[in-house]
């Protein structure tokens, strides 16, 4: 058969010939695949820096909250703020009905004025009058004494009667009594005397009553004890406020803290002062710094967790009370160490982790010893050397299977 006839026969059966060629190619490829194994993208042990973090979620809290209530019983006349509002120290928050309290202040003010007038009366009238009366009484006593002395002398010389001497004695006694009475009046009107002390006591009491009345009037306006944000409002106009009942709850401005529940297995890795990076779930792309400031000494047995608090010294404006946050706490660092992606490590939480390496073209199980665990990589302490491959756990390859490693 000539060449032309051969090509003609092939061309007439070209589709059959093509199918045979494709079948032979597929068969050859499958044969090679069976002999050499499937191609698998492997991870390679490399050197790099690794930071181990403990990841947890929690919520935002202020270090403490201030419950604001009334110190007196009264009807709420007006609520001057809204929930969520920022307030400054001393800013009025709630106004109570104050008519009776104002009347009490007016009454106490009048009592103070009356007591002060009594003090001025003692100083300006009673005491000067008593001193003048004492001076007059002393003059009368001197005159009576002189009269008695002369009468006594005349009686001894026989020029005066006994009755005259008795009358002089009576006048002298009366004069002495008047002096003692005048001295007592001066003493009682003086600062150490009873009238003065009584008047001063009444004035002090009146002023104390006025201070009390003014304080109670001040209690009618409930003000913010410090800067902060009102996070709870349990009062409306017409509410009867009573001591001990919280009307508003204030989250003080300043430092915030993040409260986390961390698995107790990570307790040994935590320490005070460790740095962390956090983000609010509502703003996942905006991260801020925090520092571990408290580790609860006890364990929550129901959740097998430990409470940890982190201080945020410079909180961003968007943080809100009780907002959910995610936190990465840096617990250890290694520079220039051997690392392998987490996806290639089997049984990492057990005491016998291992990887699928490649030996003589087949998948081979290799025990390894792990160090730090980062977000995506493990530190390889022992079991694999730099540059050795490891088959990812999700590749479907089993131990002993032939594979062809392909590096990414």
Q: In this predicted structure, what is the pLDDT of residue 29?
A: 45
CA distances from 395 to 34, 121, 212 (A): 17, 106, 82
Question: Is 233 within 8 Å of 83 (Cβ atoms)?
Answer: yes
Backbone angles phi, psi at 75, to 5 degrees: -90, 135
Its sign, for the CA torsion 7, 13, 14, 16, is: negative
Q: Is 199 helix (H, G, I), strand (E, B) or coil?
A: helix
Q: Is 137 helix (H, G, I), strand (E, B) or coil?
A: helix
Q: In this predicted structure, what is the pLDDT of residue 5?
A: 59
Q: In this predicted structure, what is the pLDDT of residue 383?
A: 87
Q: In this predicted structure, what is the pLDDT of residue 295?
A: 94
- Higher-confidence residue of 58 and 161: namely 58
Please name which of 46, 118, 140, 81 lies closest in space to residue 336, comparing C-alpha atoms: 46
Helix, strand, coil percent values for the chain (each to nearest 5): 40, 35, 25
Question: Distance between CA 296 and CA 304 in Å, rounded?
Answer: 13
Q: Is 160 helix (H, G, I), strand (E, B) or coil?
A: coil
Question: Is 201 within 8 Å of 118 (Cβ atoms)?
Answer: no
For residue 124, what are its two tokens? 């300006």
Maximum pairwise Cα distance, the chain:
205
| Mean pLDDT score across all residues of the chain | 85
Question: Distance between CA 340 and CA 90 in Å, rounded?
Answer: 59
pLDDT in tens, 44-89: 889 988 888 888 999 998 877 888 999 999 999 999 999 888 899 9
Mean pLDDT of 239-263: 88
| pLDDT over 90 at 114, yes or no | yes
The pTM assigned to this predicted structure is 0.54
For residue 119, what are its two tokens? 């003090």
Question: Is 247 within 8 Å of 255 (Cβ atoms)?
Answer: no
For every residue of 269-332, DSSP letters joined together read G--TT-EEEEEETTEEEEEEEEEEEEE-SS-BTTTTEEEEEEEESS--TT--TT-EEEEEEEEE
Q: Which long-range contacts (CB under 8 A, 24 or more apart) does 112-116 make?
A: 112/203, 112/206, 112/207, 112/209, 112/210, 114/206, 115/199, 115/202, 115/203, 115/205, 115/206, 115/207, 116/203
| pLDDT over 90 at 350, yes or no | no
Q: In this predicted structure, what is the pLDDT of residue 77?
A: 93
Please name which of 311, 259, 317 lies closest in space to residue 86, comparing C-alpha atoms: 317
For the beta carbon of residue 77, count every other beta carbon within 10 angstroms: 15
Q: What is the DSSP letter of 396?
A: -
CA dihedral 189, 192, 196, 198 (to 10 degrees): -140
Question: Each residue of 166-187: b (16+ CB within 10 Å) or e?
Answer: eebeebbeebeebbeebbebbb
Question: Distance between CA 60 and CA 259 in Å, rounded?
Answer: 6
- According to DSSP, the β-strands at 43-44 and 324-341 are unpaired
Q: In this predicted structure, what is the pLDDT of residue 4?
A: 58
- Higher-confidence residue of 93 and 159: namely 93
Residues sharing a CB contact under 8 Å with residue 318, sequence separation 6 or more, in sequence order: 280, 282, 283, 286
pLDDT in tens, 393-404: 888 888 888 888
Residues sharing a CB contact under 8 Å with residue 30, sequence separation 6 or more, in sequence order: none
């Amino acid at each position: 058969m000539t060449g032309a006839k051969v090509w003609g026969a092939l061309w007439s059966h070209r589709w059959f010939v093509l199918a045979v060629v494709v079948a032979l190619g597929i068969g050859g490829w499958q044969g090679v695949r069976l002999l050499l194994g499937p191609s698998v993208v492997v991870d390679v042990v490399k050197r790099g820096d690794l930071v181990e973090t403990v990841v947890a979620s929690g919520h935002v809290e202020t270090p403490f909250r201030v419950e604001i209530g009334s110190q007196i019983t009264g009807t709420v006349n007006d609520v001057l703020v809204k929930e969520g509002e920022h307030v400054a120290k001393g800013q009025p928050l709630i106004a109570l009905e104050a008519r009776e309290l104002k009347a009490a202040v007016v009454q106490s003010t009048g009592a103070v004025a009356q007591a002060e007038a009594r003090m001025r009366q003692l100083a300006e009238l009673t005491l000067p009058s008593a001193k003048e009366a004492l001076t007059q009484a002393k003059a009368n006593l001197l005159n009576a004494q002189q009269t008695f002395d002369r009468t006594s002398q005349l009686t001894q010389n026989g020029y005066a009667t006994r009755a005259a001497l008795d009358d002089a004695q009576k006048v002298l006694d009366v004069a002495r009594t008047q002096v003692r009475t005048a001295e007592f009046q001066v003493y009682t009107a003086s600062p150490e005397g009873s009238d003065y002390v009584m008047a001063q006591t009444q004035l002090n009491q009146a002023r104390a009553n006025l201070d009390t009345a003014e304080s109670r009037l001040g209690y009618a306006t409930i003000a913010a004890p410090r800067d902060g944000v009102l996070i709870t409002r349990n009062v409306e106009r017409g509410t009867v406020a009573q001591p001990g009942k919280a009307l508003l709850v204030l989250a003080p401005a300043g430092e915030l803290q993040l409260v986390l529940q961390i698995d107790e297995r990570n307790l040994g890795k935590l320490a005070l002062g460790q740095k962390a990076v956090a983000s609010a779930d509502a703003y996942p792309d905006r991260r801020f710094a925090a520092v571990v400031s408290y580790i609860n000494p006890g364990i929550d047995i129901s959740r097998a967790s430990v409470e940890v608090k982190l201080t945020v010294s410079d909180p961003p404006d968007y943080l809100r009370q009780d907002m959910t946050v995610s936190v990465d706490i840096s617990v250890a660092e290694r520079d220039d160490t051997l690392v392998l992606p987490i996806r290639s490590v089997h049984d990492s939480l057990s005491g016998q982790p291992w990887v699928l390496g490649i030996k003589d073209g087949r998948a081979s199980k290799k025990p390894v010893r792990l160090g730090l665990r980062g977000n995506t990589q493990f530190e390889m302490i022992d079991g694999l050397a730099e540059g050795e491959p490891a088959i990812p756990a999700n590749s479907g390859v089993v131990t002993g299977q032939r594979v062809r490693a392909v590096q990414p």
